[in-house]
Amino acid sequence: MQRQDFDAVAERLRNWGRWGPEDQRGTLNHIGPETLRDAAATVTAGKLFNLGLNFDKNGPQTGAGRFNPKLYATDLFTPLNPARPSAVYSDDVIHMPLQAATQWDALGHVHYDGVLYNNCKACDTLSEKGAARLGIEHLATPGIMSRGVLLDILRLKRLERLPVDYAITVDDLNAACAAQGVTMRKGDIVLIRTGHIQRFTLEQDRAAFTGLQPGLSPLCAEWVHDHSLAAVCADNLAVEVMDAAGLGSDMPLAFHMLCLRDMGCPLGEMFNLDALAADCADDGRYDFLLSAPPIAFTNAFGSPVNPLALK
């Protein structure tokens, strides 16, 4: 995307000041009591789906920069009372990037031109201690829960896999809504299925999973904005398309920039949507209660999450 075109879109979508000068929750403010009541009303069948990957040494990372979790037991068979040695406990420590597997991006995760969401100056906000503002803890209270809507783009396209450089368009999103019989509502969280996670879950090809990949085109941010959505999640690494042209453009990861920095819209990555998608295709219902609370790591740029969809 050329910088001039990007700037025009960014200006139109920018939510700075919309929820006050101190706001650190962005589009999660679209989730009100009515949204939550509507979300709860989607639960009729009692079917629960876990959308998270496991966090372990066999995770999706290749080891370059972001690595897979390492777990160490720090207490093993430790007696609770040395005088009663048969009652013991075990504790552990995990060493991992917060971006290791299924995760939320905090609003402070990316920025451009030295400014973050809500006009926070990066030089006053970011340091080796993390994000003094816009850290993930601000998304953790009261948490992230809403009506989730799955848009199954892989199914829409009737393909086994999307081309590696496929940029999902606004027309694709509208076509998926029409094909699935869903209408997006204010405060919804949209979950985009590209099928890309299968490079990891089925093929164990971590280089392919973390490399160039299909995903949303930058202009899908306009669709997110115009539907007043609360957050966007996907089953790939980056939510958006990662192709050579985009990465080499004036604004790499343009969708990230528009969502996180301009709109204040959190992004959920590496959500495993295959089982949920199979069920949605089966019963023809693509909406559900989505519970995806980040962990309140103070000042962090992201958080692991174990998202649950309840139908």
Whether the Cβ atoms of residue 2 and residue 250 lie closer than 8 Å to each other:
yes
Q: Is 235 in the site for ligand UVW (CB under 6 A)?
A: no
Task: Count the site residues for ligand UVW by CB under 6 A.
Answer: 6
> What does the buried/exposed string (b/e) look like for 43-74 if buried means 16 or more CB atoms within 10 Å of the residue's CB?
eeeeeebebbbebeeebbbeeeebebbeeeee
Q: Say if CB 238 and CB 302 are below 8 A apart.
A: no
What residue is closest to ligand UVW based on CB? 238
* Angle, vertex CA 59, rays to CA 54 and CA 64, nearest 5: 145
Cβ nearer to ligand UVW, comparing 109 with 133? 109
Asked if residue 99 binds ligand UVW (CB under 6 A), the reply is yes
Q: Token digits for 100?
A: 């290791």
Q: How far is the CB of 17 from ligand UVW (least distance, A)?
A: 25
Question: Minimal CA–CA distance to 27: which of 233, 242, 207, 187?
Answer: 187
Is residue 243 at the binding interface for ligand UVW, with CB under 6 A as the rule? no
Q: Could you say which of 134, 184, 221, 238 contacts ligand UVW (CB under 6 A)?
A: 238
Considering only 1, 69, 96, 105, the residue that binds ligand UVW (CB under 6 A) is 105
Residue 206 CB coordination number (10 Å): 17
Rounded to whole angstroms, how far apart are CA atoms 10 and 23? 18
Distance, in Å, from the CA atom of 269 to the CA atom of 102, rounded to the nearest integer, reads 6
CB of 287 to ligand UVW, least distance (A): 25
Nearer to ligand UVW, 64 or 87 (CB): 64
| Residue 269 or 287 having the CB closest to ligand UVW | 269
Subset of 282-311 contacting ligand UVW (CB under 6 A): none
Read off the amino acid at residue 264.
G
**191 neighbors 148 (Cβ within 8 angstroms):** yes
- Report, in Å, the least distance between residue 102 CB and ligand UVW: 11
Nearer to ligand UVW, 147 or 261 (CB): 261
Minimal distance in Å, beta carbon 261 to ligand UVW?
Answer: 12
* Contacting residues toward ligand UVW, per CB under 6 A: 99, 105, 109, 237-238, 269
